[in-house]
A and B are shown apart, each in its own frame.
Chain A
Amino acid sequence: MRKLLLTSALILAAQGASADEIRVLNWQGYGTDLDWALAAFTEQTGHTVVHEYFTSEQEMLTKLRTNPGAYDVVLINSAYTAQAQAEGLIAPIDTAKITNFADLDPGLTGNADLNPAGALHGVPWTWGLTSIAVNTNDFAELPTSLSVLWDPAWTGRVSIRDDGLEAVQFAAMATGQNINAITDMEAVKEKLAALMPQITTFWSSENDWNQFMSAGDFAVATYWSGSAARSQAAGLPVAFVVPEEGAIGWLDGLSIPASSTHQDAAHAFIDWMVDPEFYVKWEPDGAPATSNTKAAAALPETSFNRAVLGDPAVVAKVQFMQPVSDADREAYLKLWQDLKAAQ
């Protein structure tokens, strides 16, 4: 008993010595601010966590620019990591301080967008895909190629989202191009024009998609990975497919501002955020895919994030989205509107 008391006192003393308050900048309700996760972190390390939120990527960058020293950990989408690094807002990650780093998927830690100037500036945390999903009642064997969208067997039972950018990106992948550097717009346009007669209707929300799929209107349609997991869980006969041409991906990383005064505590927090224990406990709340291969393996076998996205071969095929210039966005939108109007 006395020994126990003594150790407790020692731990308390140790914590008191190095306890920092770190400030995290993230979207509200996006993993880092889960109560149980913060309680566990404070218990393990003694550090406390305060959150601040942003509602757009631009707001996040503005906050970093105007409040140096105010934040210790910030969530940055990989499309913006290079910009933040170029502006001197974030510092390179000291991977030696992150004990779980060896378990992170090398395909993600090596992602070019997260490694501006040749150094890792954001620890890959979560990611997801826009790809295709099929009705398993129609497909005895899952398709392996995006060309299934153009297959005459499914004319009138194909759908894509009513979004110019996404439509162009899918056509770019189908014509073997990089979605972030489309060179042959003519081919994209032709491919989309050929896709139009296949389409039954466009979808715009997860709810839409589920209704059309359960009514049998869709046999194959583009879809988001997180939504596909939810649709499956709701009992729809749906399978998410990552075809050989690839899929559109997003990747969120955790970065440390160059102005942070609590570098050690910040690294410790990121280390906890990529811990398998954290991911496994987050999973039932609808967590996105994990960057930690050990965490993926520790998930229940039926879990979407393990079965579909846990495979490193999937990560290798993904084309992660980079920022799109206003001029390109406008051109894609116009192409899309013209195609729709010509129907």
Chain B
Amino acid sequence: MGGSLARKDRTRAALLLAPAYLWLTLAVFLPLSAMAFFSLLSDVPFGDREWHVTLDNYRAFLETGTYAALLWKSVKLGVTVTALSVLAGFPCALVLAKVIRGRAREAMFLLVILPFWSNSLVRIFSWAIVLRGNGVLSAAIDAVLPWDVRVNLMFSPTAIVIGLVHSYLPYVILTSYLALQAIDDSLIEAARALGAPRRTILMRIILPLAAPGIVAGAVLIFVPVVGSFMEPRLLGGRLGTYYGTVIEDQFVAVFNWPLGAALSFILLAVVLAILAAASPALRRALR
């Protein structure tokens, strides 16, 4: 395509693309390079602090098993949250795309994106009210069941997973919905006419065709969840120390920006490595 562009077209394309690339340079490249620079320093270069270039911050990751263990814990959290989101989100998207029609679909769609309109901190605090020992959930279950129940999910890994799934579920619903809507209904009708049971239609037609949407949603969820810090801190209590909270501590509490930056880049590298390792499977799904 590029080869067939006339010179005039190419200039026009460059002009049209320029704002986007300029913005990317400003918003992504510059802050990232600043962080890369920080990660190589021995101390924060503010005021009259002494600093020099070093690799010690990256070495710190390898010196103790603490950071690696936390990163592993965060990756497991990412996998759990992604899997649960896909399991809950895909059926929801399927119903939205193939079952509900007209005004009802618009209303349902609105309900799906509604959480996105509220501040994430507000959502997490509302979960705290629901999940705590004498909170809304406990009171509701107690009112329904005849015997005495006390449900306290607050300050547990379960609470973190609930909070994160709720926050990120709309991503997988939206991407799956778009993929599902693109499936021609006549394909499904043809399969049904040829006597395929529902299970086969789902496994052989709908899932393979919707895979690009599901994969896109899963990646959109997995990456931020591995680095998440707010939900673990607020809902996890003493069990809420994850890789993301340690990075946050370096920036907010201990003022060790270089170590925080280095840990962030290691996280970036690990996430990229995971995505690269999964890429054959991903590519197959996207084809």
Contacts and interface: CB of A to CB of B under 8 A. Distances in A.
B110 interface: no
B219 interface: no
A283 interface: no
Interface in B68-113: 69-70
Query: Secondary structure at chain A's binding surface: helix, strand, loop or mixed?
Result: loop
A343 B254 contact: no
A340 B238 contact: yes
Interface in A40-77: none
A196 B240 CA distance: 12
A201 B238 contact: yes
B246 A200 contact: no
Interface residues on B, range: 10 to 19
Interface in B186-243: 236-241
Contacts of B133: 216-217
Given A215-B132, A216-B133, A337-B246, A199 B69 contact: no
B238 A341 contact: no
Given A162-B253, A337-B66, A341-B66, A201 B134 contact: no
B119 interface: no
B127 interface: no
Contacts of A217: 132-133, 154-155
Interface residues on A, range: 10 to 19
A333 interface: yes
B155 A343 contact: no
A338 interface: yes
A202 interface: yes
A201 B239 CA distance: 8
A341 B132 CA distance: 23
A341 B241 contact: yes
Nearest to B129: A215
Contacts of B238: 196, 199-202, 340, 343
Interface in B152-199: 154-155
B246 A341 contact: yes
Contacts of A343: 238-239, 241
B33 interface: no
Nearest to B134: A216
Interface in B24-78: 64, 66, 69-70
Contacts of B70: 341
B79 to A, nearest CB: 19
A88 B154 CA distance: 55
Contacts of A337: 66, 246, 249
Contact of A199 (B66, B132, B237, B254): B237
A54 to B, nearest CB: 15
A307 B238 CA distance: 34
A241 B239 CA distance: 27
Contacts of A338: 64, 66
Interface in B239-287: 239-241, 246, 249, 253-254
Contacts of B154: 217
Interface string A198-209: 011110000000
Interface string A167-197: 0000000000000000000000000000010
A330 to B, nearest CB: 9
B241 A340 contact: yes
Contacts of A340: 238, 241
A200 B154 CA distance: 9
Given A200-B238, A217-B133, 10 more contacts: A196-B238, A199-B238, A201-B236, A202-B237, A215-B134, A337-B249, A341-B66, A341-B69, A341-B246, A343-B238
7 contacts: A162-B253, A196-B238, A202-B238, A217-B133, A341-B69, A343-B238, A343-B239
5 residue pairs, one from A and one from B, having the closest CB atoms: A201-B237, A340-B241, A199-B238, A341-B66, A201-B155
